[in-house]
Structure formats: structure tokens, C-alpha cells
């Protein structure tokens, strides 16, 4: 895509002739080409964000989801660079309009480029809002998944808490209770670990 854009710019530059033939005209033509490229870049970012939004809003975490987050950060960086280029060009054109003695047609060309920049800046700002929204949505889905995993581990830890307490006091493999010489044969329902596990499960089911 960048190669095709470069060919298009070179073809237009080859077929375009300078009217006044001065440095200001050449500079304004370069600024005009630069703004066209930035406008195309903003459009490309919009298209990429549309694709990423579908992946992120599905909430299915995996390799594709991780790639979408990386691509989202990359698009935010590109959008920031586009904004810097627009602001730098705007400052340079404002200086030319105020300080340089431009001919009438070149002065009008500079003002048209400034109007184009002013129309592109809000679009660029909306890109940052879109990126921030998708980033917050992605973080929200990740937090939901983490809370679900933490809940599962919490349930498992509570279910196995009674056997852990018994094991820490007496050990799990025993024939006699500590401190006694009486052999105890515990049925499945009388074992403390089973009763504790059953009670914990009934608590969470309720």
C-alpha cells in the first residue's frame, strides 16, 4: 500500500507544473501532499480500529486477542505521530501566512491547507477516544476473566480446607487418634474430611 501511494505521489508530482516557480509554491505543494498522506493514514487507522473492535468486543481471549491489544497500542502511537505532524504543519503555515509575503494565489492555497488541517484534527482526536474506549473494554474483559478464575480457586480452597486442617493436626494416614490407643474405623460418612467437604459444598450450592 505504501509503495502504491509513493507511485501515485511521484506521478502527480511529475505531471504538476509550478505556476510562479518560486520556493514558496514548492513548499506549499509539499505541505499539501503531506496533508493528503496524513488524511489517508487517518482513514487507514479508522479501518483498522473497526476490525479490532470486533475482536475485542467478542471477549474471547487467546492469541488473536493478544495480537489485537498489541495492534491497538501500535495504532495509538501512529495516531499520536499523525497529530504531531498536523500540528507542526499548522504552525509552519501560520508562520508563512503571517510573516511571509505570499502572492495572492499562494496565500489562498496556504489557507486552504490550514482549513484541511483544522478539519483533520477533530478526526484524529476521535481516534484517540476510540482507542481509549477499546483499551478500557479490553481491560474490563480481562478483569472479568481474572475474577472468574479467582472465584474458582477460592471455592476450591474452601472445599479442601477441612481436610487440610485435619491433616495438619493428625495426618491423613492414621489408625489411631493421637493420644489414644483405641483403633477407630471410620466409615465414609464419618470421616472428618468427607463431612467437611460435604458441608462446604452444600454451603456454596445454597
Tell me which DSSP letter residue 188 carries.
Answer: T
Tens digit of pLDDT at every position of the chain (206 positions): 444 444 444 445 445 555 556 788 888 989 999 999 999 999 999 999 988 888 888 867 778 888 888 899 899 999 999 999 999 999 999 998 888 777 888 889 899 999 999 999 999 998 889 988 888 888 888 787 777 777 777 766 666 666 666 666 655 555 555 555 545 444 444 444 444 445 444 544 54
CA dihedral 37→41→47→48, nearest 10 degrees, is 150
pTM above 0.75, yes or no: no
Cell of 89: 504543519
Cell of 131: 482507542
Q: 3-state class of 183 per DSSP? A: strand
Domains of the chain: 2-138 (1.20.58.340), 161-205 (no CATH)
CA distance 10 to 16: 10
Amino acid at each position: 500500500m505504501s509503495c502504491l501511494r509513493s507511485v501515485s505521489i511521484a506521478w502527480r508530482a511529475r505531471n504538476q507544473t509550478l505556476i510562479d516557480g518560486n520556493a514558496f509554491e514548492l513548499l506549499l505543494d509539499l505541505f499539501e501532499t503531506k496533508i493528503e498522506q496524513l488524511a489517508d493514514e487517518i482513514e487507514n487507522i479508522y479501518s483498522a480500529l473497526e476490525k479490532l473492535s470486533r475482536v475485542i468486543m467478542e471477549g474471547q481471549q487467546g492469541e488473536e486477542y493478544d495480537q489485537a491489544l498489541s495492534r491497538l497500542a501500535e495504532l495509538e502511537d501512529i495516531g499520536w505521530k499523525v497529530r504531531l505532524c498536523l500540528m507542526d504543519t499548522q504552525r509552519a503555515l501560520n508562520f508563512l501566512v503571517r510573516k511571509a509575503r505570499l502572492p495572492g494565489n499562494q496565500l489562498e492555497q496556504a489557507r486552504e491547507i490550514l482549513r484541511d488541517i483544522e478539519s483533520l484534527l477533530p478526526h484524529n482526536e476521535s481516534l484517540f477516544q476510540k482507542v481509549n474506549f477499546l483499551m478500557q473494554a479490553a481491560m474490563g474483559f480481562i478483569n472479568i476473566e481474572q475474577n472468574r478464575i479467582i472465584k474458582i480457586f477460592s471455592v476450591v480452597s474452601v472445599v479442601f480446607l477441612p481436610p487440610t486442617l485435619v491433616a495438619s493436626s493428625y495426618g491423613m494416614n492414621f489408625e489411631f487418634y493421637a493420644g489414644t490407643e483405641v483403633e477407630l474405623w471410620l466409615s465414609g460418612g464419618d470421616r472428618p474430611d468427607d463431612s467437611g467437604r460435604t458441608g462446604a459444598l452444600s454451603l456454596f450450592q445454597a
